[in-house]
Chains A and B, each alone.
Chain A
Amino acid sequence: MLPIVLLSILGLVVLFLGFQKSKNLLLPATLLVLAIVLVANFLHWNDMPSLYFKNMLFENKFTMAFSGIVIFSAFLIVALTRGFVDDESAQPAEYYTLMLFSLVGAVMMIGFENLIMLFVGVEILSVSMFILTGSDKKNLRSNEAALKYFLMGAFATGIMLFGMALLYGATGSFNLTAIKVYVMVNSAPSAMLYVGLLMLLIGMLFKVSAAPFHFWTPDVYDGAPTIFTTYMSTIVKTAGFAAIYRLLSGSFSGIYSFWWMTLAVITVLTLLAGNITAVYQTSFKRMMAYSSISHAGYLLLSLTALTSQSQSAIVFYSLAYSIATISAFGVLMLVSKETGVHSYENAERFEAFNGLGKKNPLLAFVLTVSMLSLAGIPLTAGFWGKFFVFSSAADRGLTWMLVIAILMSTVGIYYYFKAIIASYMREGELSTIKVSPFYRLILIATTIITLVFGLMPDFLKGLV
C-alpha cells in the first residue's frame, strides 16, 4: 500500500513546490515522484496476497499490475505535458498535484476490499477529473465539458451509492469476502442484493462509459484539454475496469447466471454504439472518444466471460490500449498545435494529419503504430489484447457475442485507418514540427512498447 501513502505525501510536496518562482522544477519533480511510486508499487511483487488497513484494501499481483499500468500511464502523460507550463494563466503545480491525487483514487479503486473504499476511490478520482476537465478556463467547451461531466458524474455516483446501501442491507457488510460468503451460503438471496448489484454496476459502467451510459463521453472528451482527455481515456478507464472485475470476480461470481445477460446486452450495445458512431466522426479527438467507448466494449466482453483467463486478458488489454492511446494523443497534441496556427477549425480533425508522413516521418510512424494497435492488427500489442479477450469469450462459449465483436473490429479498422491514410496518402501543408528530444523519447518508447508486446506478448502475459 506504499503507492497510496507516497502519492498523497509527495503530491503535497509538489503542490508546495508551486510556490517557487521557477516553474521548471515541477515537471521533473512530478516525474520523479511517479517513478518512485512505480518502483514502490512493485516492491512486494513476490509476496503473498495480503490485506491492509483493517481489511480495507487488498493487494496481489493483479492489483499491483493494474496499479502499475495506471502509474506508468500517468508517468507517460505527465511527460507529455511539457509545454503547458509556458501558458501564463495555467497553474501547473495544481494540475500536477491533482493528477497525483487522482492516482490515489485510481489505486484505491483497483485494490478495494471494502465497498466504502471503492466509493472513496471513485470520488477522489472523479473530483480531480472534474477540475482538470475544466482547466482550460477561457474555453467555453472546456467549461461545458466540466459541468456536464460533474452533473452526470454526481448523478451516477448517487446511483452507485444507493446500490451499495442496498447491498449492505441485504448482506450486512461492505466487505467483498463477506458479500461473497453471503452469496454462496444463501440459495435464495434477498431481492435487495440483485437490485443493489445492478445499481452499483450502473454507476461503475457510467465511469467507464459503457452504452447506454456513454452519452457524456464524446462531449467531455472533446471539450477537455487534450492532455486530460488522454488522462481520462486511459487512467479512469483502466481503474474502472479493474474495479468492476474485482467486484464481479470477488463477490458475485456465485450468481453469474443472474448478471451475465445484463452485462452481455450492455457489452453488445457498447460495441455497436462505440464503433458505428465513430465511423461518422470528422474530428479525430471525437473519434478517439468513441473509440474509447468501443474498447470499453471489448473489455466488457472479457468481463462477461469471466473465465480464469479474463484477469490476464484485461490486464494486457488495458496496457495495450493505454499505451496506444497515449501515443496517438501525443501526436495529436503536436500536430494540432501546428495546424491550429493556420486554421482553428481543422486543428483536431483528421485533416490535421494530412501530409504528416512527408515532413515528419517519425510522428507519422508513431501514429500509425498506435492506430494499428488500437485496430488490433497483428504485430502490435493491441492484437494480442483482442486475441486474449476473444479467446476468453470463446472459452465461455459466447459465440454470438464474439461474432459481433469481430464485425465491430472490422468497422474499427475503417475509422482508425482514416488517420493513417491522412498522414501518408493525402497532401497537406504541414511543415516540419519541432519535437523536443524528451517528448520524442516518450513517443518512441510508447511505440517500442507496443511493438515489443506485439512480438512477445508472453513478456507480460506470463507475469499475472
Chain B
Amino acid sequence: MLTLSLILIPLIAGIVSLSTKNNSAKQLALAGSIVELGLAIFIFTQFQANASAQFSFSYPWIKSAGILFAGAIDGISLLLVMLTAFLTPLIILSTFRQPYKNASAFYALILFMQSALMGVFTATDAFLFYLFFEAALIPIYFLAAVWGGENRIKVTFKFFVYTIFGSLFMLVALVYLYYQTTGTQGHTSEITAFYKLALDAQKQGWIFWAFFIAFAIKMPVFPFHTWQPDTYTESPTPATMLLAGIMLKMGVYGVIRFILPIVPLGLQTWDTTAIVLSVIGIVYGSIIAIQQRDMKRLIAYSSFAHVGLMSAGVFSQTLSGVQGALIQMLAHGINVVGLFFIVEIIFSRTKTRNIEQLGGITQRTPNLTVYFMILMLGSVALPLTNGFVGEFLLLKGVYESNIWLGAIAGTTIILGAVYMLRLFQKSMFGNKTSFTEHFADLSFSERAVLVPLVIMVFWMGLYPNSFLKLTEPAVSNLLQMIHY
C-alpha cells in the first residue's frame, strides 16, 4: 500500500493543482511533494537490508492476459525512489522566484512526472513498467515544449520521437518474453518470471539489442545521444532538472532490472560492445564539454559523460560496478540538479549563460560561490564528496572487467576536472563584467534548495555505507543469478 501511495499522492496532488488557481498551484505542488518525501523517508527507515521485494502491492489488471498492476521496492529501486522523492520538492521550490504562465498546468505536469517516475522505479510487472516508462514522457514533453526556449518545438519533438522509437523495440522484446513464459494460468508478465526463462544465446542477443536501444536512447549512450544536449538546453530549467536528475536514471535502472538478469548469455557476447560505446561517450562528452560556452550546454554534455560511466559500470556486471552505478545515480542526480539550479540563478540575474560574459560573481555573492564550489567538487568526484564514492566504485568495476577500458574511462576524472573548474573559474572569479555588476545575493527560497543538496553531498561522501548497505543484498543476489 505504501508503494502504491508513492504513485498516487503526486497524481492526486497534480489533479488538484490542475483545478486550482494559478497562484496557489505552486504552494499546493510543494506541499504535495513534501508529503511524498515524508512517505519516502518513512519507507527508507523501515526498509530491511535484504534482497527481498518489500512494501509490495498487487492487483489484477488485465485478467484475461495475466497482466498485473503490481509494484514493490527492493534494494535496487530504493535509492531511485528516494532520489525522486527528494529532488521533486527541491525542483518545485527552485521555481518560486520565476513566474511561469499557466502555473497550475506547469506544476501539475511536474507532479504527474513524479508519479510516473515512481511507477517506473517500483513496477514489478513488465508491462506496467513499460506503461510508466512511456507515460513519463508525456508530461516532460509538454513541460519542455510549452515552456521552453526558442527552438523548443523542433528539439523536443526530436526527443519525443527518438525515445518512443527506442521504447517500441523494448515493447516487442517484452511481448516476446511474455509469450515465452508458462504459468499455471497461461502467460505472465511479472519481471521475475522473465528471469527464469533461460533462452538460447542467439535469441538473447536479439533481445539484448531491443532492450539496449531503448535504454541507450534514454540514458543516452553514444551514438544515441544526439537529442540530449539540445533538449537540455532548450527546456525550462525545472524540466532540465527532471530530465537530467531523474529521467536519465530510468535507462540505467532498466539495464540493471532487465538486461542483466534476463539476457546474461546475450551480454556475454555484447557486453564489451556496450562498454566500449559507453566509454566512447565518456571521452567524447567530456571533450565537447570542455569547448562549450553555454553553461547549460556544458552541464548537459557533462551529464552525458557521467551517464556513460554509469552504463559502463553496469555492463561490467561486477558488484562494485552495479553498486557504484546505484550510488552514482543518486549522487549525480543531486549534483546535476544543484548545478542546473545555479545556472538558473545566474541566468535569472544576468540574462546570459555565456561563460565568456560572466566573471567576478564571487565578489558580489560569496555565498553562491561556496555552494557552487561544493556541488562542482562533488561533480568532479573529489574525495569526501558524493561523486567520489560512485566514480571510484564504477571505475573499479570497469577495471575488473577490462583493464584497458577501465584506464580510458578513468580519464573522466581528469577531463571532468578540466571542464568543471573552467566553468567555475570563468563565472565566479576574475573581473566583474557589465552583466555581473549588480548581482543580487541569494534569496531564502534559493538557499532552501541549495542547503539540502549540499548536506546530501557531504553525507554521501562521508558515510556512503548508509546507502550502500541497503542496496548490496539485492545487487549481489542479482549478480548471483547471472553468474550461476
Q: Which residues of A contact B (CB under 8 A)?
A: 312, 372, 377-379, 383, 387, 390-391, 394-395, 402-403, 406, 409-410, 413-414, 417, 421, 424-426, 456-458, 461-462
Q: Which residues of A contact B153 (CB under 8 A)?
A: 421, 425-426
The CA-CA distance from A151 to B465 in the complex, in Å, is 78
Q: Which residues of B contact A426 (CB under 8 A)?
A: 153
A377 in contact with B145 given A372-B138, A391-B175 (CB within 8 Å) = no
Q: Which residues of A contact B62 (CB under 8 A)?
A: 457-458, 461-462
Q: Which residues of B contact A394 (CB under 8 A)?
A: 172, 175-176, 179
Q: Which residue of B lies closest to A372 (CB)?
A: B138
Q: Which residue of B lies closest to A378 (CB)?
A: B134
A391 in complex: contacting residue of B61, B130, B169, B178, CB < 8 Å? B178
Chain B residues 129-181 with CB under 8 Å of chain A are 130-131, 134-135, 138, 142, 145-146, 152-153, 157, 160-161, 164-165, 168-169, 171-172, 175-176, 178-179
Q: Which residue of A lies closest to B167 (CB)?
A: A378
A421 in contact with B134 given A391-B175, A410-B164 (CB within 8 Å) = no
A458 in complex: contacting residue of B61, B138, B152, B179, CB < 8 Å? B61
What are 8 A-B pairs with beta-carbon distances under 8 A? A312-B64, A377-B134, A379-B138, A387-B171, A394-B176, A395-B179, A424-B142, A458-B62
Q: Which residues of B contact A390 (CB under 8 A)?
A: 171-172, 175
A461 with B64: CB separation less than 8 A: yes
B164 with A413: CB separation less than 8 A: yes
Interface centre among A312, A372, A424 (most CB of B within 10 A): A424
CB distance from B105 to the nearest CB of A (A): 9
The CA-CA distance from A383 to B138 in the complex, in Å, is 14
The CA-CA distance from A344 to B138 in the complex, in Å, is 33
Q: Which residues of A contact B172 (CB under 8 A)?
A: 390, 394, 402-403, 406
CB distance from B14 to the nearest CB of A (A): 13
The answer to the question of B63 belonging to the interface, with a C-beta cut-off of 8 Å to chain A, is yes
Interface of A, secondary structure class, is helix
A379 with B161: CB separation less than 8 A: no
B171 with A417: CB separation less than 8 A: no
Q: Which residues of B contact A424 (CB under 8 A)?
A: 142, 145-146
The answer to the question of B451 belonging to the interface, with a C-beta cut-off of 8 Å to chain A, is no
The CA-CA distance from A379 to B171 in the complex, in Å, is 15
The answer to the question of B370 belonging to the interface, with a C-beta cut-off of 8 Å to chain A, is no
CB distance from A418 to the nearest CB of B (A): 9
B161 with A413: CB separation less than 8 A: yes
The CA-CA distance from A379 to B133 in the complex, in Å, is 11
Q: Which residues of B contact A417 (CB under 8 A)?
A: 157, 160-161
Chain B residues 32-83 with CB under 8 Å of chain A are 60-65
B145 in complex: contacting residue of A395, A414, A425, CB < 8 Å? A425
A458 with B175: CB separation less than 8 A: no
A409 in contact with B168 given A390-B175, A395-B179, A461-B65 (CB within 8 Å) = yes
Contact mask for chain B residues 160-204; partner A; CB cutoff 8 A; 1 contact, 0 none:
110011001101100110110000000000000000000000000
Q: Which residues of B contact A377 (CB under 8 A)?
A: 134, 138, 164
Q: Which residue of A lies closest to B105 (CB)?
A: A361
CB distance from B298 to the nearest CB of A (A): 27
The CA-CA distance from A417 to B171 in the complex, in Å, is 21
The CA-CA distance from A372 to B165 in the complex, in Å, is 15
CB distance from A409 to the nearest CB of B (A): 7
B175 with A410: CB separation less than 8 A: no
Q: Which residues of A contact B138 (CB under 8 A)?
A: 372, 377, 379
